[in-house]
Amino acid sequence: MLKIGYFFKKRITFTLNISISARKTVILRLVKQNGYYSMNPKHKNDSIVIIPTYNEKENIEAIIRAVTGLEKGFDVLIIDDGSPDGTAQIVKNLMSDEFQDRLFLIERSGKLGLGTAYIRGFQWAIEQQYDYVIEMDADFSHNPADLPRLYAACHDEGYDVSVGSRYVTGVNVVNWPIGRVLMSYYASAYVRTVLGISLRDTTAGFVCYRRQVLEAIDLEHIRFKGYAFQIEMKYTALRLGFKVKEVPVIFVNRELGTSKMSGGIFGEALFGVMKLRLGKIRKKA
């Protein structure tokens, strides 16, 4: 099968998929960029972990090493919103030293929110033809050691989306103040009831998407930014008929750096779910 696609107008990608067995496909990519063609894909990996950052200088190097150091190699894309603490410079140093072709960085000019950071990252990952796209926080609340299980749920078990879930077996959250645990748990119950879905951890930010799911969702029209963004993505995937699995994980509160979440983001989620239930689900044209 020969697929020819246009990405972001300036770049032309020719993809030649040769099926050599029912399960294995070899993909040769011919990419025209800046006026010349290259036969080698920029990456050799099937999966990318997207990590949004804002002032994460205490965590960034350690999380990149933990993710890239796993036996199953994952590439990493950092979306940094102009962190005043110099997070992006730490990433650039690692890119030029050790992690060429495995570590990527998109810099935005100011703190524009988690939702738009992920959408930017999803669009880039689609353009780069990664098959599995995983979102994860920089602060070690999501354990990198859980990444292979999230990946396996999609790659081996055939799910379209896998969610690192705190609420499959009770409440698996460590070191959060009890108020925040209760709020998160009951918020999740509220979301389930309003949206009429059985997914337990709808606000989770530790998620693996098969590329086709991201291609089917109209990312330009995803409305929300904070927790509601996480809910909207999962709800849209479910409504489009994709299969979602919850993989139990233990969420540990950050030890270094500070939380960037605000009350406004909570309010967005509270009313946002009602809007979601009443609104239309858009499939990409």
Ligand X SMILES: Nc1nc2c(ncn2[C@@H]2O[C@H](COP(=O)(O)OP(=O)(O)O)[C@@H](O)[C@H]2O)c(=O)[nH]1
Pick what 53 binds: ligand X, Mg ion, none; C-beta below 5 to 8 Å, kind-dependent: ligand X
Whole-number minimum distance, CB 173 to Mg ion, in Å? 11
Rounded to 5 degrees, φ, ψ at 263 are -60, -35
Count of residues touching Mg ion (by CB under 5 A): 4
Figure out which of the listed residues 43, 149, 239, 260 binds ligand X, where binding follows CB under 6 A. Answer: 260
Site track 134-173 with ligand X (rule: CB under 6 A), x = hit: ---xxx-x--------------------------------
Binding partner at 261 among Mg ion, ligand X, none, C-beta below 5 to 8 Å by kind: ligand X
Other Cβ atoms less than 10 A from the Cβ of 71: the count is: 5
How far CA 272 is from CA of 64, 134, 149, 193, 254, in Å, comes to 33, 24, 30, 14, 27
Say whether residue 53 binds ligand X (CB under 6 A): yes
Find the residue with minimal CB distance to ligand X.
Answer: 259
* Measured distance CA(155)–CA(130) in Å, rounded: 13
User: Which residues are within 8 A (CB) of 214 and not within 5 positions of it... i.e. 6 or more apart?
Assistant: 122, 125, 126, 133
Cβ neighbours, 10 Å, residue 214: 22
**Contacting ligand X within 189-218 (CB under 6 A):** none
Name the H helices within 164-262.
Answer: 178-195, 211-216, 227-239
Give the shortest CB-265-to-ligand X separation in angstroms.
8
Q: Site residues (CB under 5 A) for Mg ion?
A: 137, 139, 141, 254
Q: Site residues (CB under 6 A) for ligand X?
A: 52-54, 56, 79-81, 111-114, 117, 137-139, 141, 254, 259-261
